[in-house]
Amino acid sequence: MPRHRLNRHCGKLNLTQDEKLTIAGLLLFGKNPQRFLLQAKMRCARFKGNNEVEFLDLKVIEGDIIQQVWYELVDPQPQS
């Protein structure tokens, strides 16, 4: 796809503005979104019982949003 068409489509989806990535575009396609958005991480916790005080496990997952969802939902790592 020619670059100008790609820019137009990304602009219509609000992934770019003036040929620069928006926050949504950065979260989807950025190589390291946490470099610019420190809070762009997924935190997954497992608690003991129904009490949200004592952690059994806590994972902080970084990368673009697709990598984060893939890591936790599609290909979860075994729990110890």
Confidence grade of residue 24 (pLDDT, cut at 50, 70, 90): very high
Q: Write out pLDDT tens, residues 51-61.
A: 788 888 888 88
Question: Please, are residues 57 and 46 in contact by the beta-carbon 8 Å criterion?
Answer: yes
User: What CA–CA distances, in Å, run from 74 to 20, 31, 67?
Assistant: 30, 20, 10
* Bridging pattern class, strands 42-47 and 55-61: antiparallel
Q: How many residues does the chain have?
A: 80
pLDDT above 90 covers a percentage of the chain that reads: 20
Query: Does residue 73 register a pLDDT over 80?
Result: no
Query: Does residue 70 register a pLDDT over 60?
Result: yes
User: What CA–CA distances, in Å, run from 25 to 17, 18, 19, 51, 64?
Assistant: 10, 13, 11, 37, 10
Confidence grade of residue 27 (pLDDT, cut at 50, 70, 90): very high
Average pLDDT over residues 15-19: 89
Q: How far apart are CA 34 and CA 13, in angstroms?
A: 22
Q: Where do the domains of the chain lie?
A: 1-30, 31-80
